[in-house]
Chain A
Amino acid sequence: MRLPGMILLAATLAAQTVDRSKLPETPPLAAYKLPPTVEETLANGLLVVSVRDVRFPVVAARLGFRAGSKFDPAQRSGLSETVAALLKEGTQARTGQQVVEEMAEIGGAIDAVSGPDNLVVNGSALSENLARLLDILADVTQNAEFPEDELKLRKQNRTQELLAARAEAATLADEKLQAVLFGSHPYSRLLPTAESIAKIDRAALLDFRRRFLTPNNGILVLTGALPPQPELMKTITARFGSWAKGAAPPQPAAQFPPPRRALVLVDRPGSVQADIRAGKLSVDRTSPDYFPLIVANGILGSGTSSRMFLHIREEKGYAYDAHSTQSPRRNGGFFAATTQVRNEVVQPALEDVLGELRTLSSQPVTTNELTDVKNFMAGNFVIGLETQLGLANQLSMVKLNGLPSNYLELYVTRVRSVEPDQILRVAKKYMSPDDAAIVVVGDAAAIGKALEKFGRATVEKAR
């Protein structure tokens, strides 16, 4: 509906001269101020973090556990993700269908995601239904039954999904790079295999839940239109307070192979493109090298002003996508430069990728470049915290990784304080090309010759 408008006609056109040729001056970014965040721990060790934001009548929950795929037994890779997938498929009190119908009735959704380090149960609901959301969250995490028929179906469907995922060149490239970099550590496994999925049984799922989904191994983050804190804690304690503590699960040893130059060609016949990765192991968020390293990565390949984007995509036109990432884990992490190019230019494109790594690790970055990338990273970080979900995800990440509570507030400051000499030092250490691992996925018949220049390639068949 539109109300009758009011028309205002200006008497004269302004004769003022307006300078539109120059970018307008704007004030610098303000420091980020975290909204009031409350932390309380239940007697059984469950940490509760909450942020109240009443703009929209919804609530979001993140119930995270240090229970990611790195805890999968080697022969049963995919155990953690199967626990996550089947968590809502039935408890003693509710069938799977009841769980999802109840979630829909409260205007919510529930799903659990398993990453390399953590398993996080995500839930949301209209805020008037917070108590029912917590009922279900508490039930599935404490009592999931993993019914046999659901497990059987999940295994069948997951096998098909894995086939579909590995039909994509990018999956094959990412998978191979992580395998080369992390060696025998569980971080080497991006995805489970059909064989390892086949070995998973109900007993293993129940055992995983009992050992890893415990209150003292968990963190509950709540954001949104929450009730006042005392009422909130009462509601939470009623549902999670009687949950028995567990023994702290042992961490896999953080032992990784030393960096070495490897060149792997994954043969994907019929590919009209080559997917290129160059990567090395790096560090986690607690390392003093972390902030210099993410700023170095920003200069190299994050965003459309980065060196890789400008040189490989814009100047040379080799690729639509050229970027780099730092992927921190709880322990360690890895760096990867990524691009997909048409077959004919695979050699010059890979030369350029390695050339960018060499430049970054041998020449200091310019002040302008550094200032711009710091603003880019700081501004986008703050934008990411705009929503309740964005904030919930970040708070959950901070707590699960054992980072200090002021990590989010200090992020902007720490990015801004990185100096060119720190960048040069960390780039030399973690991003120099000589001992980088190189993975190329493509049609070996079409691109094999072009790769000879980079050394002897190990050729593997795409799975």
Chain B
Amino acid sequence: MKQATMRAPNLLSLFLAAATLAAAADFQIPFEKYKLANGMRVILSRDSAAPVVTVYVIYNVGARSEERGRTGFAHLFEHMMFQGSKNAPKGVHLKTVESNGGYLNGSTHPDFTDYFEVLPSNKLAVALWLEADRMRGLNITAENLANQKEAVKQERRLSVDNQPYATAIVDRWPELAFRNWSNSHSLIGSFEDLNAASVDDVSRFFRTYYAPNNAVLVMVGDVQAAEAKKLVEKYFGDIPSQPQPAHPDLTEPPVTESRHASVPDALARVPAVVIGYPGPPRRSPDYYALAMLDVIFTGGDSSRFQQNLVKGRQSVVRYEASLGWPFASGADYKNPGLYGIYLLHKPSFQGRQVAGQVQEEMARIQREGVDRKELARAKTFFRASQINQLQTSLQRAMLLGQYEILDGDPNMINTEMEQFMAVTPERIKAVAGQYLKSGVRTVMEIVLAPKKEEKK
């Protein structure tokens, strides 16, 4: 069944009526999807409960698209997107959003880069105008580039170099856990590579990847579809498309060995250990099973890590884990996935001991599986957390856009829950045996190093 919708002229439209699909679900996010003549995909989802709208633009390019000698470039480019465009010169974008009562941000991920504005809903046109103006053409100047190189370096100093654990996780962990350079290079980049980036590099990157046919525009909130579509056509309709960009080959060679490293950290006061296992292909039955197994291990206070490691063995202080950790979550990475586990532990234990305790948890599942009650609890926990995270228009916009970019199907926001709920105890046991093997894991211990002063 199709929704009755107004159509602006000059649109090549593909309508999707999602509202009638997953009928029995707990929730139904209504939306429609269509395409402009220039190839830009548009997703529109209405919710009139609060006078708020989110405009979200997601581009199909991320840090894993970087070339050798240009590590950190995707992130540097994201900064350039805030340096001004033809009709909204430097400073105007941020000021305009804020002075209209909203907030904004952009972020660089391994597999995509995204930008959003959240505004009072009667300000929709403001966000669309701004996003279209910079998609149409950026002010790429030597001065802006030099300035943003400094800003990125400062960001690196603040959030990596001056933070405990961060250098090990950001720079060392990918090198250790992946073999393909596209996956293994530092996503925030080196100062040397940042310095080497030229104005030409920036222009080329913009032309190649920031074209409408490589983007998805999502609008979620209290807006009228007809009005929104008119505005979208007005501002984005004639931005020219570009040849479809190539995407990097992210394939990893099969893993046949375990790896281990010990990284000293002068800023850390509590030791940590990071463990990674090559994961199943995204959206495969094994992926859903491993995601649910992750909930059993780490989801909430009744999880096995909390009950058995933090409490039982009293070795672990704090932990986080997910497919895609640390740069992505289970939902937003392209293959190849890595199930990453990060544990802060007491200094009275060695990192390798803690890794051994984690491996014993895996072995127990491989041996005994899980009972139906524990799995049911994990599913309920998962379902509730998914529903809770749908409450903001921003979260819904991100999910719709990311499903479209990564899977080509935004309606997975409504339907994917079924796949998680269908996971069986047998499948859990099977994926534990297949993926969580000590022979293929990577272990990185972050050990306390003397303060710099004491080294002298």
Contacts and interface: CB of A to CB of B under 8 A. Distances in A.
Interface of A: 1-3, 5-10, 12-14, 18, 20-24, 26-27, 29-30, 32, 53, 55-58, 88, 97, 100-101, 103-109, 124-126, 153, 156-157, 160-161, 163-164, 166-169, 269-273, 303-305, 310, 313-314, 317-321, 340-342, 371-373, 375-376, 378-380, 382-383, 385-389, 445
Nearest to B268: A167
A30 B51 contact: yes
Given A156-B314, A161-B318, A387-B391, A13 B123 contact: no
21 contacts: A1-B409, A7-B14, A18-B234, A29-B122, A56-B387, A107-B381, A164-B164, A164-B270, A269-B454, A304-B98, A310-B91, A317-B150, A342-B157, A371-B99, A372-B95, A379-B100, A379-B101, A379-B102, A383-B101, A385-B50, A386-B52
Contact of B119 (A9, A125, A379): A379
Contacts of A273: 157-158, 162
Given A3-B16, A20-B87, A272-B161, A101 B452 contact: no
Interface centre among B99, B310, B344, B411, by most chain A C-beta atoms within 10 angstroms, is B99
Contacts of B87: 20-23
A2 B88 CA distance: 38
A305 B94 contact: yes
Given A3-B17, A8-B13, A161-B270, 20 more contacts: A7-B13, A14-B9, A20-B132, A20-B133, A23-B88, A56-B390, A58-B387, A103-B301, A104-B300, A157-B310, A160-B270, A272-B161, A303-B94, A303-B98, A303-B103, A304-B94, A313-B151, A340-B162, A376-B98, A378-B101
A366 B400 CA distance: 41
A382 B96 contact: no
A1 B300 CA distance: 32
Contacts of B7: 8
A104 B269 contact: no
B10 A157 contact: no
A108 B302 CA distance: 11
B147 interface: yes
Interface in B429-454: 451-454
Interface residues of B, number: 99
Contacts of B52: 382-383, 386
Interface string B220-262: 0000000000010011000000000000000000000000000
Contacts of A169: 162
Interface string B318-341: 100000000000000000000000
Contacts of A12: 10
Contacts of B306: 100
Contacts of A106: 380
Interface centre among A18, A124, A319, A382 (most CB of B within 10 A): A382
Contact of A270 (B51, B235, B451): B451
Nearest to A22: B87
A314 B91 contact: yes
A269 B391 contact: no
B25 to A, nearest CB: 10
Given A97-B307, A101-B377, A304-B98, A8 B11 contact: yes
Contacts of B51: 30, 32, 382
Contact of A320 (B95, B154, B392, B453): B154
Contacts of A164: 164, 268-270, 317, 344
A9 to B, nearest CB: 6
A61 B452 CA distance: 47
Nearest to A314: B91
Interface in B266-323: 266-270, 299-302, 306-307, 310-311, 314, 317-318
Nearest to B411: A1
A163 B15 contact: no
Given A164-B164, A342-B154, A305 B101 contact: no
A103 B300 contact: yes
B109 interface: no
Contacts of A320: 151, 154-155, 157-159
